[in-house]
């Protein structure tokens, strides 16, 4: 079965440090890939998406993600964490029109 795996349910970084959130998916065919962010008591908002135009994708709020086909990965990074980045982040993969799979989520904590 198709699956999306996010390594680490909780990640804690200091303000100003690098943020790295990991996502791996199961597929031999590059699907559409997304990262969403969820702030407390809110719905999910799109951070960025992979559309096959470029392997390095830039999103909002300084986040970016790199698609690596050989590793079936789509890790999310941000060079310098800000307190406002504290939220839950979800990796999602669209395998076909009807099937958008989500990872279990990674809660990011940013320490002052």
Q: How many CB atoms lie within 10 A of CB 53?
A: 6
Question: And the tokens for 89?
Answer: 């982040």
Contact 27, 2 (CB under 8 A): yes
Judged by CB under 8 A, the residue of 79, 82, 104, 109 near other proteins is: 104
- Residue placing its CB nearer to other proteins in the complex, 50 or 78: 50
- Residue placing its CB nearer to other proteins in the complex, 95 or 112: 95
Under rule CB under 8 A, residue 95 binds other proteins: no
Question: And the tokens for 16?
Answer: 């100003």
Distance separating alpha carbons of residues 94 and 77, to the nearest angstrom? 21
Judged by CB under 8 A, the residue of 7, 27, 94, 95 near other proteins is: 94
Site track 37-76 with other proteins (rule: CB under 8 A), x = hit: ----xxxxxx--x-x-------------------------
Q: Tell which residue, 46, 21, 44, has the closest CA to residue 34.
A: 46
What are the residues whose beta carbons fall under 8 Å from the beta carbon of 18, sequence distance 6 or more?
77, 78, 79, 80, 81
- Residue placing its CB nearer to other proteins in the complex, 5 or 72: 5
Residues at the contact surface with other proteins, assessed by CB under 8 A: 4, 9, 32, 34, 36, 41-46, 49, 51, 90, 92, 94, 97-100, 102-105
């Amino acid at each position: 079965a198709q699956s999306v795996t996010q390594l680490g349910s909780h990640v804690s970084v200091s303000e100003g440090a690098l943020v790295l959130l990991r996502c791996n998916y199961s597929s031999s065919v590059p699907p559409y890939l997304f990262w969403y962010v969820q702030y407390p008591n809110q719905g999910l908002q799109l951070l960025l998406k992979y559309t096959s135009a470029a392997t390095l994708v830039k999103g909002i709020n300084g986040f970016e993600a790199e698609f690596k086909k050989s590793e079936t990965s789509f890790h999310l990074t941000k060079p310098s964490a800000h307190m406002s980045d504290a939220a839950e982040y979800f990796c999602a993969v669209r395998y076909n029109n009807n099937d958008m799979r989500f990872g279990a989520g990674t809660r990011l904590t940013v320490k002052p």
